[in-house]
Amino acid sequence: MAEPIQRMPSRTGAAALLQAASPPVSDLTDAHMAHFFFCGPAAAPVGLVGVELFDDCALLRSLVFAESHPSKGLARTLLSQAESYAHASGARVLYLLTTTAESFCARNGYSHAERARAPSSICESREFADLCPASSAFMVKHI
């Protein structure tokens, strides 16, 4: 039986999982958690994904799993949840930056995009502007 996907993990629990997996965490606030989904306990999630919403587009944040907990298809389920949520919130295009999940994202409909063509709202995000290395793959999917 699949683990249930829930919304709004604790920021402390989300940060602990993210720090173990290396995605950026310094900009995350309690308000961000309203747009994050997780599996496992809220205080110690074993899988996590979030979105940052900007008008008609969104930035996918931090699709991660605990090392001790294999994804068993949860990565795809969490990604689908984040995409559905972003679409229901008015986003029509979802962007992401990754140093580790490029092939997974490509298999799930994301294609490479030029960073120079990113919308200004995405460029102004802390993740795009400051936190993710310039070597990160920048990808896009119309949702």
Provide CB contacts within 8 A for 8, sequence distance 6+: 33, 34, 36, 42
Output the CA torsion 91→137→100→64 (10° steps).
Answer: -20
Q: Residue 37 falls within a domain, yes or no?
A: yes
pTM: 0.89
pLDDT of residue 71: 64
Q: Residue 94 falls within a domain, yes or no?
A: yes
Q: Residue 132 falls within a domain, yes or no?
A: yes
pLDDT of residue 73: 81
pLDDT of residue 1: 43
Q: Residue 74 falls within a domain, yes or no?
A: yes
Which residues sit opposite 96 in a β-bridge?
A: 139
pLDDT of residue 129: 87
Q: Residue 1 falls within a domain, yes or no?
A: no
Q: Which helix (H) or strand (E) holds 142?
A: strand 137-142
List the pLDDT tens digit at each of the 143 positions of the chain.
467 899 999 999 999 898 887 766 778 888 989 999 999 988 889 999 999 999 899 999 988 888 777 666 888 999 999 999 999 999 999 999 998 889 999 999 999 999 999 999 999 998 898 878 888 999 999 99
Provide CB contacts within 8 A for 27, sequence distance 6+: 126, 127, 130, 131
The CATH number linked to 58 is: 3.40.630.30
Q: Residue 128 falls within a domain, yes or no?
A: yes
| 139 phi and psi angles, rounded to 5 deg | -130, 160
**From CA 111, how far away is CA 109, in angstroms rounded?**
7
* Residue 32, domain extent: 6-142
Contact 18, 25 (CB under 8 A): yes
pLDDT of residue 36: 95
Domain count, the chain: 1
Instruction: Cite the DSSP H helix spans in the chain.
Output: 11-21, 74-88, 102-107, 120-123, 126
Q: Residue 90 falls within a domain, yes or no?
A: yes
